[in-house]
Chain A
């Protein structure tokens, strides 16, 4: 086995996994804060990618991404205020159906606002070439890392780790954990629970925007479009493997699935075409069968 190839596959798998991790961490954050499974998470990526695209028409791409983040945060808060909060306390199935409806609404909204045409970051019309983040691709000892992989490793991965750290040690993290344990008790303690929840949605949208922007070619070779919704489905196996209510679990699971995908694409795909697409969902099946609370989820015992 070629050692350089294995190292390269590991690094690329981790880089992709970092994007999955950052999106899934935001998804799990919302679940922890509100017990709402956000089935519109892939559309959050889509909106985030389009916000980055819009900013990229006026600014260099790195600046555009940084400017898109507060907009994505505001979008997340807006969704929480306008859509999620009125549904809190309702039947879980109703909330799930509502977030599926939200996904369809956001799909349609993106189509109306940005139009159906294929787009590339920073290119206002078809004759323009795309804008990209500074090219950080490098090759060393037979190991090649693409610019996208480097950016994912230096931006997405630290952000996901930062989120985990903040949740554990910051004041907001403590407040969020309090709200997720018992919103009523948190309110009784004087915690502004609605604000904590709104911030969770905002952060989730911001994390999805980072993932969406990179998957839409912020570091080259793609564009925003509905295919992001297909890519965004990966969030669900990642979250389930991680334990669904564990942000560190989502980060670890994202990296693991990124690695498994990379090795599968390299070694299994030619033997079993389509296996790489199926593997994350096979993992989910195994997790649900043998360890339903995932890698880091709480092992709840419900007494009836």
Chain B
């Protein structure tokens, strides 16, 4: 049968009328994806697996509520073993394999990996956050798609310096101990600069590997320097318990301080009574704090799913918070018909009015990070960290 032009056009119109709803439905049926590169093996497997646990819980919560704008939410997980080379390879696999209209967010790992990936993330216009709170990443001019879901290490250090000013004032003697890594070195220049400005003395500085066999040489230096405060940075409880315990054993009375990754209860579990009084900067909720609405949400979800209700670590809480915020941004982007990478950045920027249920102070970004934190003191008797401040803006010294 031979068709004239008019018949062809009519047939085309009829076909598109019949198939377009199906095509639209099919497009909508495509999942929305978040890729997470986590240390599921290696020295930080405890943090990576806790984060994965939180991501899975949050994924269930999102999909139980109907997904994102009717699309199913999917998690893409890769293990980097806390190794920058493996993490980079995992990132490349993900971006080559996943469709840009499906993969709208990447959650990465570590300061080293995030700094290595930052230029490529920027080139791909890929919304990104990480387990890292590196100051360098919170720079929207250089990295317009990277968000830091909390204060930077500089902000945390700033909050600790504020506490030193309150406790001791000018002339306070500070000893710095940090790991020989991007993570460890990140806030050190800032601490030195601000200490000089505030009239504090840096009486000693020690650089160590991520794990040490013995803290005695460091404690010997502490005995010589006689600091009032010791700030630890760049460990995830691999060094803090050994050092604090050895220091107390040798009669060092200085106040020990740490940032986000020292703020876990395992500090007390590992160091015992020596951990009492350790001050940390931590900006999420503790799982035992049932007055925080988000904690109740987590407990309710886990109860409903028949999952273990015992203590969840700070690594879990931070990841849950990030997922909660990302999911809200996805919902808003989808409602605006912009569930794309640029749409996600726009939605994240506009989350200032979102109530995150007490997981962070608010979501008003300052240079793509949230500078508020609280300070907590280890209370070994109750096996808890007690808040010793309300929200503190760590960037204001």
Q: Are A118 and B49 touching (Cβ within 8 A)?
A: no
Q: Are B273 and A108 touching (Cβ within 8 A)?
A: no
Q: Are B269 and A130 touching (Cβ within 8 A)?
A: yes
**With known contacts A111-B45, A223-B270, A277–B209 Cβ distance under 8 A:** yes
Q: How far is the CA of A118 from the CA of B311 in the complex (A)?
A: 12
Q: How far is the CA of A19 from the CA of B45 in the complex (A)?
A: 25
B90 at the binding interface (Cβ < 8 Å) = no
> Which of B40, B216, B269 contacts A126 (CB under 8 A)?
B269
B250 at the binding interface (Cβ < 8 Å) = yes
Q: How far is the CA of A83 from the CA of B270 in the complex (A)?
A: 35
Q: Are A230 and B216 touching (Cβ within 8 A)?
A: no
Q: A118 to chain B: which residues have CB within 8 Å?
A: 46, 237, 264, 266, 269-270, 313
Could you say which interface size class chain B belongs to? 35 or more
Q: B214 to chain A: which residues have CB within 8 Å?
A: 12, 15-16, 146, 148-149, 262
Q: How far is the CA of A229 from the CA of B218 in the complex (A)?
A: 22
Chain B minimum-CB-distance residue to A266: B217
**With known contacts A215-B213, A221-B242, A221-B244, A144–B207 Cβ distance under 8 A:** no
Q: Are B272 and A130 touching (Cβ within 8 A)?
A: yes
Give the shortest distance, in Å, between B179 (CB) and chain A (any CB): 10
**With known contacts A126-B266, A126-B311, A266–B50 Cβ distance under 8 A:** no
Chain A minimum-CB-distance residue to B380: A129
> Which of B41, B50, B211, B249 contacts A146 (CB under 8 A)?
B249
Give the shortest distance, in Å, between B142 (CB) and chain A (any CB): 27
**With known contacts A221-B215, A222-B242, A116–B45 Cβ distance under 8 A:** yes
The 7 closest A-B pairs by CB, nearest first: A221-B245, A273-B207, A265-B217, A227-B211, A116-B49, A118-B266, A221-B242
Binding site for B on A (CB under 8 A): 5, 8-9, 12, 15-16, 19, 107-108, 111, 115-120, 123, 125-130, 132, 137, 139, 144, 146-149, 215, 217, 220-223, 225-231, 234, 262, 265-266, 269-270, 273-274, 276-277
14 interchain pairs (CB within 8 A)? A5-B220, A16-B213, A16-B214, A117-B313, A119-B266, A130-B269, A220-B272, A221-B271, A221-B274, A222-B242, A229-B43, A270-B204, A270-B206, A274-B209
Binding site for A on B (CB under 8 A): 40-46, 48-50, 180, 204-211, 213-218, 220-221, 237-238, 241-246, 249-250, 264-266, 268-274, 310-311, 313, 380, 383
